[in-house]
Structure 1
């Protein structure tokens, strides 16, 4: 889910599934009358659907992104600095060795005893990882300990002033400013007190160095030095000035020897480094990780210890023994309470430096010699290789293929075992999940299973690696088992299952239906039906107003968040459209279990909510649904999209709402989730792939396949083209930036909706009742020439391939055993002639069998049983 680090910081159920069981199936199977499958042009790229996945060059296998084994090695050297020999040797284990050397540094200059420091402001202290209080006042800048620092308390507000007073006049040739990457002073002046006035002796601009020598043009005798910072480096924590030390002399830094390697894409697991030897002084190495080069500095873009006290100060540490070591990065201290490593990481880039924290002395020293044979990663997530894909996709558009497999790989990175040392440290560990396969939200962070994310990521899993469906079930079941007495269901294990979110219990309902729909797991439905009753008939009625609409604020829910921790209250279209979706899905599940009275009650309630949304939240002037009935007028992607997907919007309102989103939210990198900035600054520039998925679905369902593909190409094309490439981001900010800087997760399962969208709507195949007992194939080709693919089902693969041209549409479907399905042909039935083999099923006006009919303006052939079915749809004039 989106970060919950700041307050400003949905999904759909599709009518694809909303129309479960209404395809018009009959008891008579047409399959007996059909000849064997005809060869289609699609087979140039893939074998027939009945033959399984293609293994020929140019087939779908070449798009698979997962590593070939659990030992993953970097693919190239990005950079090397300082005294480094043969950095490229890290790429080839067992051969030449990379050597990093650094001389022992001279002792740091010290201020005379009695020197004091004061600052314009200082951040309040807190407790460190050791439980001891930490201060951030000015005295830290002259205490001789580079691990402590002065931290200004005015984020983004400058100037920040640090004044050092010496007990007697002292000659100075300059100073050295030591900072850290969480607040490097970028622009500042240095003044000295002389002849009763402050005089500027140096000006620094554009600084990005943690250690910056600032020489004076001449030696000056003074008893006071003032540093005035006018700008500091932007960090994930804001614009803060942080100064660890000021030395009373200009000392140029000795370059830190470092090598940066690139794994070619985001990977996740335990880094492994084979050290072959080292000097006998316990030289330290610090290892930094980042998903993007932009945020790879002397610290990682993110570490879990950042959220749990910062023991590693942004890097993972190791003291190398003289005889070398095969080090695997596991969480913990190497020696007592010194030399900390964070363990598992999600990253693309890794930088190893010969350096050590001052607080780690003497266990680790920032100098000496280290010889390294190789760097690797022990991959922990689901290992998706061509042999593991039970569902696949291929089409004539190379970009769409990359986005589909990029989504699958992103989701594989988030499919992992729940382990205490590797999950979000904010009280997210749970004994009930330990050791189980789960779908987490991201590879890097938060690494906790959120039920809202499953609305997308679970579908991606079911369509690719359904043998791992337990990962979704484990999450759904665990959250149900932690249901609150009043019926509310926690969104995740974080905060000991107490994080208050308003919308996520609804995702538990839709996610449970999804799980049953794709897997056919009726025992799960039976086991957790009481949970369903309690959340829909106890919790949500407690936050329903007299119009029948959910209203955030009722029952003390004003402070509850949602998927993006948005500060919206009252009647919100998104909450209510999601409520309709949950009620519709709950009714389907109730019918499966023979609970028809519950199904009728929930269906009736869904209708009442839908009517109230149309009556109270439709903005006729804008031609779109309001985000909220209170506050400034704005129109959100989430509410408008779900209103279309759930059928709240009729055809006219659907067309109008989608047109409004086109006119107000279209960006080069996707569609923004708000049409203006009244909720928070730059909301209209923020793109969430999570809420883009229902909009893409809405466009397909409204017959706007071209605009759906356009949105896909802008959103996923942007992520595919920009660092780190391949994987799908948690969120996109203004001008296509990382919406929360380094903190942004660049491989996030909730952003993989392109995969189910392409499979269910472009390829066109989807289940229409639990376990694919019934299915439908309804392709929407748009500008795509051909597509082929396979969906895994409990009964075997459902295969589809089609080829589209101006004169004809050719379709072959392979139905799984013990199932029945239907196909629908794109285009106007009046301009079509459909045949199978030599038999004409539709001549443009009438059908030759009762299994062929025009349903909602689309020609449909139903009652298709197991096996291959091939159709040719000829278009008039062809």
Structure 2
């Protein structure tokens, strides 16, 4: 309700006491609930659970950043999760109140990734320092589940809806790898390097896990990663996360995974082998990025047309591209899994975890990303994807970051506006003669440029 300045300024109300029930405020609690330690917060949907879910925030948090730069809900959501941390084990909740339980190793790791993203976009060092003990304790909780195999042994099996979670699972190990390696990055960025032993531990753990991940999960016959040590099923989630989180060891391996993912495409989108007969836009949001990162832009665009095109134009929906999920035959049911049974329920039409294209366009097609908090350093690496132009940007506490590029096939021009005092790199999509602000330069491929207004052109 953006037109309402104060949502608490109700023009009407109802109040009474119920003398016939154990809770006298029962009647006025029917439409009232507490979902976080403060508001606003990020929830999974406008209806349904209306709860903080760490996995959903893996998509909705960066979407909120690139679209509105409203990170206050993300901060409140993360603080809610950290406030519920088990003080003995360090476990983080699967979701916020009133749903929460300590039953998911993957969503535990997603909270850590969300905290990193929040810090990267906001530069909120005060919040990070306040949360640091919770953060490191949460990483230790997962690290203690890495046994002599060198892999995370998953005991908290609740997840985004997938089947066959638990034990030495590749998806969970991929997310844990990113959580631990990002924590190393946070140590560096936040100036906590006085604890050199902590930093060395994170670096060694991440390196060892990457080697073991490829040794144990890579299935050469399929050119993809398998679900666990006893399975030949190659899941959508683990494979795209392997590309996104830099677990692949070569460009050829990443491209093989990208190709393998397309073999599971159906008429209405990418069907998840780990949740049969189901299209899950949450995981599809990440698959788009995996195709971009592996250099297969055409596949990313095709999946966008296939999956989000169906959601937008199907007469079964309401012209929403925010469906929670649907079956592989296009029926608007979402087959979730509670650890024991399928739950084929009607899908939500307003699920934040399906907004992945929003920031994928900015981060990959436009090519604009931050490489240090608030954008003190940045990167512009456009994926032209057959398009003739793109423009856009976002804002951080340092100011406006804007990019506009035009492509004619044998020439490419990019104009960018970055806050003064920042610096970054521009990665050009074609090779040729390069000019910077009209002056010829001798560099090729990638240019280092300071903030301000600059124009780079390349002619084949």
Establish whether TM, by shorter chain, passes 0.5.
yes
Q: Which structure would you say has the larger Rg?
A: 1
On the 8 A contact 1:642/1:698 being kept in 2, the answer is yes
- Which residue is 1:465 aligned to? 68
User: Conserved in 1, the CA contact under 8 Å of 2:258 and 2:296?
Assistant: no
Match of 1:502 among 96, 100, 105: 105
The residue number in structure 1 matching 2:324 is: 730
Unaligned 5+ runs, structure 2: 335-343
- 1:720 match: 312
Counterpart CA distance in 2 for 1:826 and 1:422 is 52
RMSD between aligned residues: 2.7
Partner in structure 2 of residue 802 of structure 1: 405
Q: CA deviation at 1:816?
A: 1.4
**1:475 equivalenced with 2:72 (yes/no):** no
Q: 1:837 to 1:487 in 2, by over 3 A?
A: closer
Aligned counterpart in structure 1 of residue 243 of structure 2, from 644, 648, 652: 644
Counterparts of 1:324-339 in structure 2, within 5 Å, are: none
Query: Could you say which residue in structure 2 is the equivalent of 1:563?
Result: 160
Distance in 2 between the 1:652 and 1:331 partners? 65
DSSP 3-state at the match of 2:378: strand
1:685 is aligned to: 277
1:521 aligns with 2:124: yes
Instruction: Output the CA distance in 2 between the equivalents of 1:531 and 1:698.
Output: 31
- Per-residue deviation, 1:863: 2.9
- Is the 8 Å Cα contact of residues 464 and 792 (structure 1) preserved in structure 2? no
Gaps of 5+ in 1: 1-66, 72-268, 273-325, 345-418, 424-428, 842-846
Mapped contact 2:266–2:328 kept (Cα < 8 A): no
Q: What do residues 173-194 of structure 1 show as CA deviations (whole Å, max 9, x unaligned)? A: xxxxxxxxxxxxxxxxxxxxxx
2:154 maps to: 552
**Is structure 2 residue 291 aligned with structure 1 residue 699?**
yes
Shift of 1:420: 8.6
Deviations 1:615-667 (A, max 9, x none): 0111111111001213x42111110011111211122221111211112x112
2:89 partner SS: coil
Count matched residues. 438
CA apart distance, 1:774:
0.7
CA distance in 1, matches of 2:66, 2:40: 17
Aligned to 1:454: 57
Q: Distance in 1 between matches of 2:260 and 2:289?
A: 16
8 Å contact from structure 1 (residues 815, 821) kept in 2: no
Q: Distance in 2 between matches of 1:478 and 1:799?
A: 33
Cα distance in 1 for residues equivalent to 2:345 and 2:27: 19
Q: Quick check: 2:123–2:373 contact (8 Å CA) kept in 1? A: yes
Distance 1:733 1:814 in 2: 43
Structure 2 residue matching 1:817: 3-state secondary structure: strand
Contact kept in structure 1, 2:308 and 2:321, CA below 8 Å: no
Larger relative contact order (CA 8 Å, sep ≥ 6): 1
Q: Is the 8 A contact 1:490 1:497 kept in 2?
A: yes
Partners of 1:448 and 1:727 in 2: how far apart? 20
SS where residue 67 of structure 2 aligns?
coil
Query: Is the partner of 1:585 in helix, strand or coil?
Result: helix
Instruction: State the 1:569 CA deviation.
Output: 2.1
Provide the rounded CA distance (Å) in 2 between the counterparts of 1:871 and 1:604: 40
Distance verdict in 2 for CA 1:742–1:573, change over 3 Å:
closer
Q: For 1:783, what is the secondary structure of its paired residue?
A: coil
Q: Secondary structure at the match of 2:353?
A: helix
Distance (Å, rounded) in 2 between the aligned partners of 1:499 and 1:745: 25
| CA shift digits 1:363-394 (9 cap, x unpaired) | xxxxxxxxxxxxxxxxxxxxxxxxxxxxxxxx
Deviation at 1:336, TM superposition (A): 8.2
C-alpha deviation, 1:343, in angstroms:
11
The secondary structure found in structure 1 opposite 2:301 is helix
Higher helix share: 2
Alignment of 1:171-570 (within 5 A): 421-423=31-33, 429=34, 433=37, 436-466=39-69, 468-484=70-86, 485-495=88-98, 497-537=100-140, 539-553=141-155, 557=156, 560-564=157-161, 566-570=163-167
Q: CA deviation at 1:68?
A: 7.0
Find the aligned partners of 2:348 and 2:446 in 1 and give their Cα distance. Answer: 43
**Does the residue aligned with 1:735 lie in a helix, a strand or coil?**
coil
Q: Which runs of 4+ in 1 moved over 4 A?
A: 330-337
Label 1:808 to 1:566 Cα distance change in 2 as closer, same or farther (>3 A).
same
Contact between 2:322 and 2:354, CA under 8 Å: does it hold in 1?
yes
Indicate the structure with greater strand content: 1
Partner Cα distance (1:799, 1:591) in 2: 27
